[in-house]
Amino acid sequence: MSPWRVGKTHLLDLLSGWDASEGTAYSALAARIRLLIVDGRIVPGARLPSERDLAAGLAVSRTTVNSAYSALRAEGYLQSKQGSGSIAQIPGRPPELPVARPGDLIDLSRATCTAAPGTHSAAVRALDRLPPRLRTDGYELAGLLELRVKLAERYSQQGLPTTPEQIFVTSGSQSAISLAARTFVAPGDRVVVETPGYPHALNALRAAGGRLLPFRVDADAGWDVDGFDLTVRRSLPTLAFLMPDFHNPTSRSMSVDERRRVVATAEAHGIMLVSDEATADLALDEVDPVAPIAAFAQRPGTVLTIGSASKTVWGGLRVGWIRTSVEHVDRLIAARMSNDLGAAVIDQLVFAELLNDFDPILEYRTNALRESRDALQRALKAHLPSWRMSPTRGGIASWVHIDEPVSSAIAIAARARGLLIGAGPWFGLDGEFEQFIRVPITADPEAIERAVEILAAALGDVHERTHLDTRSLAGAL
């Protein structure tokens, strides 16, 4: 299926179970299509089937479909363009991500953790090892060799043979994403990005001049690999940005088959895959380990893998890295110099110290995330039983399905009650995902429990304010 066109058969599929005899047929049909747009199953920008085709497919009168489309147009969910039919859109602009204020708010607008135990003692050991380094000039354009050796060994152990020359150390993975975007995307290039996706990566790719095309990820169904293949063939993008382990915000992990197919498409069309694996070490359930997506590539430069110390150890250690071909490392070194001249030596030494005995750190972090995930599950069951948590088997957040399109309104109401949280549309390209909210599991269980109580109260505020008849909307589902 093309993300730009919703074929008749696909829309009939999405509408299956819709009953024309229910209430006023056209308004029920409009409500149903509206929900498909707001929760992202119909991507903004996609062209809907013609009125005649849809009427024939649904076996209803053309007037019914015409009235439904007119109602959606009046509400701003459809736009009619001469010669290009009816195009789905989200009315209004997506809300801004809340900015944390000092004070005792619960901040779930960011999925970030406090430092892992052992960080302080590793810093002390690193300081002790600093003096010989002080006799050098301290500029390490590709990163400290000692750290690159350790990172290369870790990849090799995971089934991805790697040499230290293939590793390039950055100041955190956000700067790796932004550098990759500036180096490999030229203004006007098409770039495929996951939707929902990681907002700061989307912004970095936009800032490099990329024109973003959607690649759907569903918490239950996974990656729309057929859609990716079609988008690539039709639009010939330069690059695709992915988070195969674990996708932020759905927490989904790519299957072996999905990895193979995405890489095959990329190699067939000469596209670079930028794989953000900042949370790849954070599996919360026992699963058979799958090799990093780069291990599925035939050519060394197809996949550019990004890693980070922030989610396993601490965000204050500004250490991220890129694993790619030696040729790409050379290009990145040249490109970095307009922005910075290397990552901090002391931070790299601290992280290298921690890598000497990394398993206990991963155990600590995954235990903490697991406890918070379980607390979230319990709290939702108790306070918001109709909300559905995505199967959260790894990563740092859960993508929670709300049974009404009110995510932005809830985030605003929650803020007034002391909870900062990013609404679903923040993670979309065009304001979709009003029926989802991302709940980070990086906070401790007590904070998560309290946050869910606030969300339940915020939902009450929204209902009170809007008198939204959720049952009539849910009936149309």
Ligand X SMILES: Cc1ncc(COP(=O)(O)O)c(C=O)c1O
Between CA 309 and CA 313 the distance in angstroms is 6
Residue 308 Cβ vs ligand X, minimum distance, rounded to whole Å: 3
Of 67 and 119, nearer to ligand X (C-beta) is 119
Pattern of binders to ligand X over 109-148, x per CB under 6 A? Answer: --x-------------------------------------
Residue 67 Cβ vs ligand X, minimum distance, rounded to whole Å: 43
Between CA 280 and CA 155 the distance in angstroms is 12
Pick out residues in 42-61 that bind ligand X (CB under 6 A).
Answer: none
With vertex at residue 306, the alpha carbon angle to CA 301 and CA 311, rounded to the nearest 5 degrees, is 165
> Could you say which of 198, 241, 321, 387 contacts ligand X (CB under 6 A)?
198
Of 65 and 144, nearer to ligand X (C-beta) is 144
Identify which range of 56-64, 124-132, 172-180, 428-436 contacts ligand X by CB under 6 A: 172-180
Of 319 and 455, nearer to ligand X (C-beta) is 319
| 162 in contact with ligand X (CB under 6 A) | no
**β-pairing, 388-389 with 222-223?**
unpaired
| 231 in contact with ligand X (CB under 6 A) | no
Of 276 and 353, nearer to ligand X (C-beta) is 276
Of 45 and 315, nearer to ligand X (C-beta) is 315
Pick out residues in 272-301 that bind ligand X (CB under 6 A).
Answer: 276, 278
CA 413 to each of CA 38, 100, 162: distance values in angstroms, whole numbers, following the listed order: 19, 15, 49
The CB-nearest residue to ligand X is: 172
> Edge-to-edge strands of the sheet including 211-218?
167-170, 320-323, 303-308, 272-276, 239-242, 190-195, 211-218, 222-223
Between CA 101 and CA 107 the distance in angstroms is 9
Residue 194 Cβ vs ligand X, minimum distance, rounded to whole Å: 10
Residue 170 Cβ vs ligand X, minimum distance, rounded to whole Å: 8
Identify which range of 38-46, 64-72, 307-315, 353-361 contacts ligand X by CB under 6 A: 307-315
Pick out residues in 174-193 that bind ligand X (CB under 6 A).
Answer: 174
Of 33 and 396, nearer to ligand X (C-beta) is 396
The four Cα atoms 225, 194, 431, 7 give a dihedral, to 10 degrees, of -10
| 248 in contact with ligand X (CB under 6 A) | yes
Identify which range of 26-34, 124-132, 167-175, 354-362 contacts ligand X by CB under 6 A: 167-175
- Kindly state the number of chain residues that form the binding site for ligand X, as judged by CB under 6 A: 13
Are the beta carbons of 89 and 78 closer than 8 angstroms? Answer: yes
Of 31 and 144, nearer to ligand X (C-beta) is 144
Residue 200 Cβ vs ligand X, minimum distance, rounded to whole Å: 7
> Could you say which of 119, 302, 308, 390 contacts ligand X (CB under 6 A)?
308
Among the listed residues 189, 182, 143, the one whose alpha carbon sits nearest the alpha carbon of residue 166: 143
Of 9 and 114, nearer to ligand X (C-beta) is 114
Residue 109 Cβ vs ligand X, minimum distance, rounded to whole Å: 11
Of 172 and 196, nearer to ligand X (C-beta) is 172
Of 86 and 279, nearer to ligand X (C-beta) is 279
Of 203 and 235, nearer to ligand X (C-beta) is 203
With vertex at residue 204, the alpha carbon angle to CA 199 and CA 209, rounded to the nearest 5 degrees, is 125
> Could you say which of 31, 116, 243, 303 contacts ligand X (CB under 6 A)?
243
Lookup result for tokens 């989802």: 436
| 394 in contact with ligand X (CB under 6 A) | no
Residue 174 Cβ vs ligand X, minimum distance, rounded to whole Å: 3
| 390 in contact with ligand X (CB under 6 A) | no
Contacts 24+ apart (CB under 8 A), 59-65: 59/20, 60/20, 60/25, 60/29, 63/26, 64/20, 64/25, 64/26, 64/29, 65/26, 65/29
Q: Cβ of 268: how many Cβ atoms within 10 Å?
A: 11
> In angstroms, how far is CA 103 from the centroid of its own chain?
28
| 315 in contact with ligand X (CB under 6 A) | yes
> Could you say which of 44, 143, 210, 320 contacts ligand X (CB under 6 A)?
320
| 310 in contact with ligand X (CB under 6 A) | yes
The four Cα atoms 343, 344, 345, 351 give a dihedral, to 10 degrees, of -90
Of 179 and 345, nearer to ligand X (C-beta) is 179
Q: Which residues bind ligand X (CB under 6 A)?
A: 111, 172-174, 198, 243, 248, 276, 278, 308, 310, 315, 320
